[in-house]
Amino acid sequence: SIAATVGTAHRIKALNHSVQVLMYWNAALHYGTYECESAVEPSWLLPGPHQPYYNYSVPAFRAWWVRCAVDAVQTSGGLLDGVFLDATPKVANGDCGGPGAEQMALWEAMVGALEKAKED
């Protein structure tokens, strides 16, 4: 959960306040372990071999994905310093609902939105 991630970040920073703690955020696979993932709509998901893939062709998914990560960092009280984006090769391989090049363009826009939120 995000709450558990923030709690762990608190314990880590108590030991070393200068360390940077990143929240794990999957770029391709839906695990449903974070509180914000309860908002995920079935149309935002594609079948995967073990876990559903996110469907990048859905604009509402992309907006949610950015907002969830931004909200987690912004509401962490400074305990989360950013996000670690995992599974990006799956996006490039075309596992998220279309040709890899199209998905990567959407991915780049999503990452740009994360970067912009960090600047704001």
Q: What are the tokens at 29? A: 């696979």
Where residue 105 falls among pLDDT bands split at 50, 70, 90?
Answer: very high
Q: What are the tokens at 55? A: 């469907």
Q: What are the tokens at 80? A: 């989360």
pLDDT tens for each residue of 29-44: 999 999 999 999 999 9
Distance of alpha carbon 118 from its chain centroid, rounded? 14
| pTM score over 0.85 | yes
How much is the pLDDT for 5? 96
Residue 54, beta-bridge partner list: 45
**Measured between alpha carbons, how far is 71 from 68 in angstroms, rounded to an integer?**
5
DSSP alpha helix (H) spans, 1-120: 2-15, 59-74, 88-92, 100-119
How much is the pLDDT for 119? 82
How much is the pLDDT for 100? 84
SS3 25: strand
Burial class (CB in 10 A: 0-12, 13-18, 19+), 8: middle
SS3 45: strand
